[in-house]
Amino acid sequence: MQSVPTSTCDFLRSMLKGIEEAPNTRVRVYLLQCAEEDLNRLSKIDSQVSGCAQLITLYINSVLLFHKIIEYKLWYSSSSPSLIKQNIVQLLQNTLKLEYLFVGLTDVDLALIKQFKVKTLALQLVYVVRAIVCR
């Protein structure tokens, strides 16, 4: 059974364009949340783009989690260290999945993933240093 040709690529392009043109961070976060839900549904509907949609969904989920940690200053707070540690561990797991679970990624895709991994490791470093200083 073959997939019926769809306008999935047009949908993805328009979604990305909307996110890029968002006027502020709050709108961008909202659009990313909507995109995550839409891509999750798309991965279940269209088998031809399922892998790509899952990859982008995982990346968006990671970006949103990173933003949540930074926005709410969770990395800076000592009130909930286990939550912060858990979120950072989740981010590191996501970067490993992005890096090794999906095949056929371009050099640009891998560079983007590795750049995000470096940001996550930097966040972890800040968390560890902050935990040592606050003792």
Kindly indicate the confidence band of residue 60, based on its pLDDT and cuts at 50, 70 and 90. Answer: very high
Q: Can you tell me the distance from the alpha carbon of 18 to that of 106, in angstroms, rounded to the nearest whole number?
A: 23
Give residue-wise pLDDT tens across range 28-56: 999 999 999 999 998 898 888 888 889 99
Going 100 to 94 to 51 to 17, the CA torsion angle's sign is: negative
Q: What is the pLDDT of residue 6?
A: 56
Q: What is the pLDDT of residue 52?
A: 86
Give residue-wise pLDDT tens across range 118-129: 999 999 998 888
Q: Can you give the pTM of this predicted structure?
A: 0.82
Instruction: Report angle CA 124, 37, 26 to the nearest 5 degrees.
Output: 60
Q: What is the pLDDT of residue 13?
A: 74
Q: Can you tell me the distance from the alpha carbon of 93 to that of 82, in angstroms, rounded to the nearest whole number?
A: 16
Q: What is the pLDDT of residue 85?
A: 86
Q: Can you tell me the distance from the alpha carbon of 90 to that of 61, in angstroms, rounded to the nearest whole number?
A: 10
Q: Can you tell me the distance from the alpha carbon of 91 to that of 117, in angstroms, rounded to the nearest whole number?
A: 8
Q: How far is CA 94 from CA 38, 46, 56, 114, in A?
A: 19, 23, 12, 11
Q: What is the pLDDT of residue 74?
A: 58
